[in-house]
A and B are shown apart, each in its own frame.
Chain A
Amino acid sequence: MNKELKVINQFGYELSTEEFEALKQNHPYIGEKLILDLVNGIGVVAKDLNDTSKSKEKGFSRLTDSLFGNSKKRQNQINKNVIEGLNATSEWLQDHDRHLGRIDGRIKDIANELYNTQDQIIGFYEQFKGIESIVKSLEVFKEVANKRFDEIEERLTKVEAQQHVDREIEKIGTLNLPISVEVFTVLDNLVSREAGLYYMMESNSHNKEEFLTYIKNKIKNKIGSNNLQSLVDYQKLHKELKVIEVTEQKAIAFLGSQYSSFSDDSLYEVSDIVKIVSNSESIESMEKELGEYSHISTFLTVDMLVDEATDELMNV
């Protein structure tokens, strides 16, 4: 069994190998994103006690809804499995075959946060049987995550990062998705590996900006200048998303929701668009929700979408 799927299952999520493989078709790094979301959820659910509104926006109960459906019962199941999940995540992090990626930085931040707010977490998980060893699990998780991240210090070269960009961008037009979603998907893949890692590790702001411009121009060239000024038609996008494979739809909804949850100040326009369009049942509900988000442009050109999506995802 795939190692990532094993971790996911340890958390109590039921996802079949077939389904998982189908998801990985266009989104090879979705497994680790799910894990990230699950560990993030441990803290968020605990904080639920104090702040319900925040959990609605950020909790894994909402994000993973798109993939696993929403069920209180299921959530209880996950809560019961929190230690197994944490331990499996620590093990997975230590796997030497695993590629290092941008995600490790985020996992490290979450591990430290969980460790630092452990009183709240213990308070919440006390109700579940056999929770005594959670302190130990949190400690191990923190240590492993930090160690793993430190290994990233061995820097990537800019050339490797650019090769990654070139490789991924070539996929635009081949994923059988609406063009705006393809851009989003490719950028997600970039963020998750060498390109994302290089960008994260680079401290010189000029070089960072140059790298972003490189990505944006590459994508725009691939799309073709004739298409850049056309507007993103949300209704059409919704219709197109509704006819693709359900698993794929779920994956897109999950990714959109995840990036959207990373934003501190509701500025992630493209992530929110992907989240809303892919999650909405009908065009009416989509339009209603889009109308409520003032940071989402009514007139978004493909050119603006590429710029915005690159800035959003790369700066996560």
Chain B
Amino acid sequence: MHQENIKQLYIETEKILVELIKQINIYSKNKNSDSRIEQLEAEQIKLKNHDLVIAIVGTMKAGKSTTINAIVGQEILPHRVEAMTTLPTLVTHKKNQTIPTLYFPKINILKKFIDDVKDKLNSAIEIDLKFEILADDIKKNKLQLKGKYEGKENIFKFLKDINELMRLASTIGIYPPYKDFQNTDDFPRIEVEFFYLKNNKELVDSKFTLMDTPGPNEAKHSEYLGKISKKQTEQASAVILAIDYTQISGESSASIKEQVNEALQYIGKDKVYILLNKFDEDRKQSNEKGYEGARDYFGKEFLGDNFTNDKVFPVSSRDAFYANLGLNEIKINSCIDESLPWRKEFGEIIIGRRWQKIINKNDEVKEYCDDAFEDSYFNKPMQMIINNSYENSKLEIIYSGLETMKGISGELNNEFNTEIESLTVKIDTLKKQVVDIKADMELIKNISIDIGKDSDLEMQGIKINIGETLDSKLDDFNKKIKKSFESKIDTIKNDEIEKQNQNLENNHREKWSFFGIDLKQNTLKNKQEESNKEFSKTYDELRKNGKIIFEDEIDKQNFIQSIQKEANEILTKFQEDSYSKIEDNINVFIPKLNKMVKVKLLNIIDEIKKNMGKEVIFKIPEIIFDKLEINQNLEFEAIVKTEDVGKTEYINQNSIWGGIKRTFDFFDNNWGKDEIVSCAKHYEITTKDIIHEISIAMKNVKNRVEREIEQEFNKKVNKPIEEEIHKLTTEIELLHLLKEDILKKRQANEINIEEKISLAEKGKKYLKKINQRLNQVSIEMEKNNE
């Protein structure tokens, strides 16, 4: 959509908000007006303080901070080598703010948290060596944090301190107060002028913010931080996903692919822009594929057509950063001074080998910077991201304003119609209407209870369904595991028999070399048969008991891994089947529920409408079910226990007599050997144990699935229907009160009927105009979206 159109939509929404507030003040002053005006003013504030937040997440060491620094034109965030464990940090563009200033509104919560950490540290707990200095500072009250910091160094120190603090806290078992940080405004915010936006005229009416937030990989270690980060990325107008281009074709390729897919699933693809950072650093790749080739390769091949290459941009954030850094420095201090710590690096990257000869010539340096910035390919994605996110965020605000106004306008309209009806009908009719509506309201309450019961029944049905799915899966699993065992035992048995036969043969060949070959072979054959029988007996016994014994730990591990893999596959399938079955159930249930609500409520609502006023409009509650939103990629770890049993071994006796005995041990009776139970172990695994473990794991999964489904069901079915009915009954109640009030006033002759009707008619007319305008804005939005 063209920015000029958005501007017009914005202006019109602002104007209608003013008109609606005016309307309420003139025509609809009653006890509800304050809260309505409050809601409308909140929308006005949203329009006024347009917050444009762009979240930046990245795979490890992908240059997330460098990207932010490149936009700002100075090193505003410290370079981090470890995962981001702290809260998201905001960097906001503020015109003419040359010295960066950090504000942390919730400093008191952090202070309280430091006290908690201190208490724990004082309880003589053991701490990791790398946190010793920080721990010491905390114990001695040296870690004093403030709500405001000026200047880069102070800001860096603050950010480093809280990052370390969170890490230390985690190691000593104190949970960081993440739950107190839910809104964007709760996080640390650095305000500074962005060099990149210095001359931008389009964003004058917006607060442009970059949000450095832990990505899915970084936030993994803390469920809460993960949730905060997810919420923030969901709310952001756009998300930049930075990826290290040099890693997509190397050894880390698979891991990066996994991280990217995970991130895309986490954020959603719609508002993500991928920066293939360090594009210039993998010369071979960038030369071979070129700019467009790299985009195509990434979208189509690397991600397997999983992402449109329109939103993939090879860039060099480092070059863009140094280019903007240099330009910014010349702008502020008129030169790249010798004392600057980054001077050499800047010179080498932006100018090249002869940097020392040129670095003092500002005009030439500026040209180098401009060229380097252009070569960094940084501008194109930034323009696109800024324009698109500006547009999306503004449209979202407009949409929210329109929805609020439409809701309030509907309520006001009903109030006017109720008022007119109550002032027009005869007083006896009004009395009867008041009584009838009251009775109908009771009926709605009963219906609401019935709907709740039906919904609960459905949930119970879903739970039974989950149970049945689990039982059938468990049965499958038991069968499979039995088969796996049997086949494994057979394999081991055959291997062992073969091994034993080979040993016997070797032994015999050694010992019977001086005698006739027939004797040797017969003896061997007999011995082998005897041994085979024994093995078969042992393994058949094991087979019967569902037991496997491994002598080698690696063999055991391999077997366990294969069992675990199989278990995980079954668990995943169980989970998928459960969700899909449940989704099917809900999809059938929702229309049934909507129909039931409609059938039960329609007649009553019609009756209420008749008594309330003929033009009163009530919306029959309706649930719109989209899809289940459950993280289906949960990891299972079905644990298989093993029993370690001492192993009997025969070792050669050291004496000469032992040697002689061994020589004459033609029949492998372990002459000349001592029987010992060695420290070496063999490992027993039983099907019983495995099935037990797996069924526990399955039950855990079942409980979790049930829990999540119940939460989802409550969130998407029970709660919305409850809220909708509550909204409806509240509105009817309020209108009923209005009617009662008019009745009282009419009975006491305290009301000027004509004047009141005329005011309500005027109000209705005014409101009609407002509604017309609201509809027109919606039409214009749709037109522009086409």
Residue positions of A touching B, CB distance < 8 A: 265, 267, 269, 291, 294-301, 304, 308
- Indicate if the CB atoms of B776 and A297 lie closer than 8 Å: yes
- Measured between beta carbons, the chain B residues less than 8 angstroms from A294 are 14-16, 18-19, 22
Residue from the list B11, B19, B769, B779 in contact with A291, Cβ < 8 A: B11
Interface hits, B740-786 → A, CB 8 Å:
766, 769, 772-773, 776-777, 779-780
Instruction: Please list 22 pairs of residues, one from A and one from B, whose beta carbons are closer than 8 Å in the complex, sorted by A's number.
Output: A265-B26, A269-B769, A291-B15, A294-B14, A294-B15, A294-B18, A294-B22, A295-B15, A295-B19, A297-B773, A298-B8, A298-B11, A298-B12, A299-B8, A299-B773, A299-B776, A299-B779, A299-B780, A301-B776, A304-B772, A304-B776, A308-B769
Whether A297 touches B12, Cβ cut-off 8 Å, given contacts A265-B26, A304-B776, is: yes
In the complex, A167 Cα to B766 Cα: how many Å?
A: 31
Smallest beta-carbon distance A290→chain B, Å: 9
In the complex, A301 Cα to B14 Cα: how many Å?
A: 19
- Indicate if the CB atoms of A299 and B766 lie closer than 8 Å: no
Interface hits, B1-58 → A, CB 8 Å:
8-9, 11-12, 14-16, 18-19, 22, 26
Interface centre among A267, A269, A294, A298 (most CB of B within 10 A): A298
- Indicate if the CB atoms of B766 and A267 lie closer than 8 Å: yes
- Measured between beta carbons, the chain B residues less than 8 angstroms from A301 are 776
Whether A296 touches B15, Cβ cut-off 8 Å, given contacts A265-B26, A267-B766, is: yes
In the complex, A295 Cα to B777 Cα: how many Å?
A: 14
- Measured between beta carbons, the chain B residues less than 8 angstroms from A267 are 766
- Indicate if the CB atoms of B15 and A298 lie closer than 8 Å: yes
Whether A299 touches B19, Cβ cut-off 8 Å, given contacts A265-B26, A304-B772, is: no
In the complex, A153 Cα to B8 Cα: how many Å?
A: 49
Smallest beta-carbon distance B346→chain A, Å: 44
- Measured between beta carbons, the chain A residues less than 8 angstroms from B8 are 298-299
**Additional A-B contacts beyond A291-B11, A291-B15, A296-B15 (15; CB < 8 A):** A269-B769, A294-B14, A294-B15, A294-B16, A295-B15, A295-B19, A297-B12, A297-B773, A298-B8, A298-B9, A298-B11, A299-B12, A299-B777, A299-B779, A300-B776
- Which residue in chain A gives the minimum CB-CB distance to B22? A294
Q: What are the 5 A-B residue pairs with the smallest beta carbon separation, nearest first?
A: A298-B12, A294-B18, A294-B15, A299-B776, A294-B19
Q: Interface majority SS on A: helix, strand, loop or mixed?
A: loop
- Which residue in chain A gives the minimum CB-CB distance to B772? A304
Smallest beta-carbon distance B763→chain A, Å: 12
- Measured between beta carbons, the chain B residues less than 8 angstroms from A265 are 26
Residue total for B at the interface (Cβ-Cβ under 8 A): 19
B439-454, CB under 8 A of A: which get 1 and which 0? Answer: 0000000000000000
Interface hits, B293-335 → A, CB 8 Å:
none
Smallest beta-carbon distance B776→chain A, Å: 5
Smallest beta-carbon distance A183→chain B, Å: 17
- Measured between beta carbons, the chain B residues less than 8 angstroms from A300 are 776
Smallest beta-carbon distance B130→chain A, Å: 59
Smallest beta-carbon distance A315→chain B, Å: 10
- Measured between beta carbons, the chain A residues less than 8 angstroms from B773 are 297, 299
Smallest beta-carbon distance B412→chain A, Å: 17
- Measured between beta carbons, the chain A residues less than 8 angstroms from B779 are 299
B462-493, CB under 8 A of A: which get 1 and which 0? Answer: 00000000000000000000000000000000
In the complex, A269 Cα to B768 Cα: how many Å?
A: 14
- Measured between beta carbons, the chain A residues less than 8 angstroms from B19 are 294-295
- Measured between beta carbons, the chain B residues less than 8 angstroms from A296 are 15
- Measured between beta carbons, the chain B residues less than 8 angstroms from A297 are 12, 15, 773, 776
- Which residue in chain A gives the minimum CB-CB distance to B777? A299
Smallest beta-carbon distance A265→chain B, Å: 7
- Measured between beta carbons, the chain B residues less than 8 angstroms from A295 are 15, 19
- Measured between beta carbons, the chain A residues less than 8 angstroms from B769 are 269, 308
- Measured between beta carbons, the chain A residues less than 8 angstroms from B9 are 298
Smallest beta-carbon distance A303→chain B, Å: 10
In the complex, A297 Cα to B11 Cα: how many Å?
A: 10
Interface centre among B11, B18, B766 (most CB of A within 10 A): B11
In the complex, A300 Cα to B18 Cα: how many Å?
A: 17
Interface centre among A267, A291, A296, A297 (most CB of B within 10 A): A297
In the complex, A301 Cα to B776 Cα: how many Å?
A: 8
In the complex, A291 Cα to B777 Cα: how many Å?
A: 16
In the complex, A161 Cα to B779 Cα: how many Å?
A: 37
- Measured between beta carbons, the chain A residues less than 8 angstroms from B777 are 299
B122-133, CB under 8 A of A: which get 1 and which 0? Answer: 000000000000
- Measured between beta carbons, the chain B residues less than 8 angstroms from A308 are 769
Smallest beta-carbon distance B335→chain A, Å: 41
Smallest beta-carbon distance A272→chain B, Å: 13
In the complex, A44 Cα to B773 Cα: how many Å?
A: 34
- Measured between beta carbons, the chain A residues less than 8 angstroms from B15 are 291, 294-298
- Which residue in chain B gives the minimum CB-CB distance to A299? B776
Smallest beta-carbon distance B418→chain A, Å: 20
In the complex, A296 Cα to B16 Cα: how many Å?
A: 9
- Which residue in chain B gives the minimum CB-CB distance to A304? B772
Smallest beta-carbon distance A221→chain B, Å: 21
Smallest beta-carbon distance A273→chain B, Å: 13
In the complex, A45 Cα to B769 Cα: how many Å?
A: 34
- Which residue in chain A gives the minimum CB-CB distance to B18? A294
B583-616, CB under 8 A of A: which get 1 and which 0? Answer: 0000000000000000000000000000000000
Interface centre among B8, B12, B779 (most CB of A within 10 A): B12
Smallest beta-carbon distance B541→chain A, Å: 87
Smallest beta-carbon distance A269→chain B, Å: 8
- Measured between beta carbons, the chain B residues less than 8 angstroms from A269 are 769
- Measured between beta carbons, the chain B residues less than 8 angstroms from A304 are 772, 776
Smallest beta-carbon distance A95→chain B, Å: 37
In the complex, A300 Cα to B777 Cα: how many Å?
A: 10
In the complex, A300 Cα to B11 Cα: how many Å?
A: 13
- Measured between beta carbons, the chain A residues less than 8 angstroms from B766 are 267
In the complex, A212 Cα to B15 Cα: how many Å?
A: 27
In the complex, A296 Cα to B779 Cα: how many Å?
A: 17
In the complex, A296 Cα to B18 Cα: how many Å?
A: 11
- Measured between beta carbons, the chain B residues less than 8 angstroms from A298 are 8-9, 11-12, 15
In the complex, A49 Cα to B15 Cα: how many Å?
A: 33
In the complex, A294 Cα to B12 Cα: how many Å?
A: 8
- Measured between beta carbons, the chain B residues less than 8 angstroms from A299 are 8, 12, 773, 776-777, 779-780
Smallest beta-carbon distance A206→chain B, Å: 13
In the complex, A218 Cα to B772 Cα: how many Å?
A: 21
Smallest beta-carbon distance A314→chain B, Å: 13
- Which residue in chain B gives the minimum CB-CB distance to A265? B26
Interface centre among A294, A301, A308 (most CB of B within 10 A): A294
- Measured between beta carbons, the chain A residues less than 8 angstroms from B26 are 265
In the complex, A267 Cα to B27 Cα: how many Å?
A: 14
Smallest beta-carbon distance B774→chain A, Å: 10
In the complex, A291 Cα to B772 Cα: how many Å?
A: 18
- Measured between beta carbons, the chain A residues less than 8 angstroms from B776 are 297, 299-301, 304
Smallest beta-carbon distance B538→chain A, Å: 88
- Measured between beta carbons, the chain A residues less than 8 angstroms from B22 are 294
B672-694, CB under 8 A of A: which get 1 and which 0? Answer: 00000000000000000000000
In the complex, A298 Cα to B769 Cα: how many Å?
A: 13
Smallest beta-carbon distance A69→chain B, Å: 32
In the complex, A119 Cα to B129 Cα: how many Å?
A: 94
Smallest beta-carbon distance B552→chain A, Å: 79
- Which residue in chain B gives the minimum CB-CB distance to A297? B773
Smallest beta-carbon distance B5→chain A, Å: 10
B47-87, CB under 8 A of A: which get 1 and which 0? Answer: 00000000000000000000000000000000000000000
